[in-house]
Structure 1
């Protein structure tokens, strides 16, 4: 008889489970069903679910150059920002762990961008990078260097948004990576040292493989957060120049709240969610394989 058969099974009473079920139905199932209903109907803010249109909204969204381009930009932004922040956050966590067992004042200072409201982050960076009167160009002028306008070009504006997002969210990755490093047993480090492994070899062969599941989970979270970025795009670039920084969230907001085409916005949201699920599933599959190897 298998070991699993000896494990007692406990059932949660229905009365105790009822609040959770009601919560899921109200805040998860109902909005999802309503969103799908909007996607298949002609809907506006004033008249939702007005007329059944089938897949017309989906066809319109896919044929829209604005939305199709925003999907690609959202994928590039989310993946690039997540990878940059994972590397920088892990590096900072390793430095803090090597410095002391507690992050101390330095760790607290590094966490300040994380607790700053995204709108304020966007306003601060926009003032910093302003071509006229900005702090960056003011400093360059003091050293006799020509001014720059990173938000004036398509590539520069897109890269600047990644930099701003990384400035805010790298501390989040650092915090979680630091917590994972605290869980690495000292016995593993000591065993590696006895085998003649140096610091770099110990890091590459012992520490990083041990915390890899945590890092993959952090990467998944950061991908989702990166796909949802809206605040800094709205404040810093408003989707410009042109459509070069228009992400899917910004395009969906504009379709729903400026063009009042809620049906098309709902269809675009469904398509966008499928893209997010596809990208995130790649990381989840990697994490699953790691767990299978570990077992």
Structure 2
């Protein structure tokens, strides 16, 4: 036997492996064990399932604030809610308020975001000023604006006098009060839209903008052809969020107008509050109104979600 034969490495034999015990675990990769989800499911049951079941129980029984769930009443509470002109009118006003407010705030917020992005990638002092209305509690917003809009002694009293309408009170008429609530809500929530759209603008590919400019596209053409398609999904998502937030407006109505003049600014959230927690404290009818309002909100948001999906898919 030569030295070469002695030094030659032996053929490597495959090492037998035991059964692959990791197979089922690998197949279930990404799935959370049920026992880890138990705390979250328990929290959802307490915070969501129980209040919903209790609300449904109130809607189908004679219930007051002091004595809930007294007697089964069937659909009587829903019939009573349908007969209420104030509640039916509040549904229409809530839909108009949510949709008009979302449209106004998305338009203003997108315009401000584009202007801020043109200054550079940082918000700076302008960003700090934008956050002030957003972090102010709605009750404080309502109190401040009600004081400023007071026809006597308000901050805008001098402005009205300079315009030749001393003593002008925008909260004195139905259309004026409703429009004022829309503008106050826009003052508070437009910064929210601006910040989200500004973040989307930061993600626009700069090379595409440079290519459009090299092809001779101006500022408007570049925005329409490059920037707008890139931020459209974000803008539509923000609009949907703002619609949902618009349906929840309650504080401004309570503080600024209390539903007046007349019933012109009574939104559904405020009308439900009046039914259940003021006057006769009819919790059964208030619960029925809440369910009807939830159905209306669900239908509108589902339609808007489907429309957003089609727009994003077909763009």
TM-score (norm 2): 0.88
Equivalents in 2 of 1:40, 1:164: separation in Å? Answer: 37
Matched, 1:179 2:199: yes
Deviations for 1:194-243, whole angstroms, at most 9, x for unmatched residues? 33221101111221111111111111111111011000100000000000
Question: Match for 2:174 among 154, 168, 187?
Answer: 154
Equivalents in 2 of 1:255, 1:115: separation in Å? 30
Q: Deviations over 1:137-189 (max 9, x none)?
A: 13433676533110000100000000000000000000111111111111221
| Aligned pairs for 1:1-80 within 5 A | 9-80=29-100
Q: Indicate conservation of the 8 Å contact 1:180/1:211, yes or no.
A: yes
Larger Rg over CA atoms: 2
| Correspondent of 1:239 among 259, 267, 274 | 259
Once the two structures are TM-superposed, the CA of residue 282 in structure 1 deviates from its matched residue by: 2.1
Give 2:150's aligned residue.
Answer: 130
> Counterparts in 2 of 1:260-275, with a 5 A limit?
260-275=281-296
> Which position in structure 2 is the counterpart of 1:281?
302
Stretches of structure 1 that go unaligned for 5 or more consecutive residues are 1-5
Task: Provide the secondary structure at the position in 2 that maps to 1:152.
Answer: coil
Are 2:112 and 1:103 equivalent residues in the alignment? no
Match in the other structure for 1:225: 245
The aligned residue for residue 195 of structure 1 is: 215
* Bigger mean CA offset, 145-154 vs 171-180: 145-154
Q: How many equivalent residue pairs?
A: 289
Q: TM-score, normalised by structure 1?
A: 0.94
Distance 2:291 2:128 in 1: 39
What is the aligned partner in structure 1 of residue 23 from structure 2? none
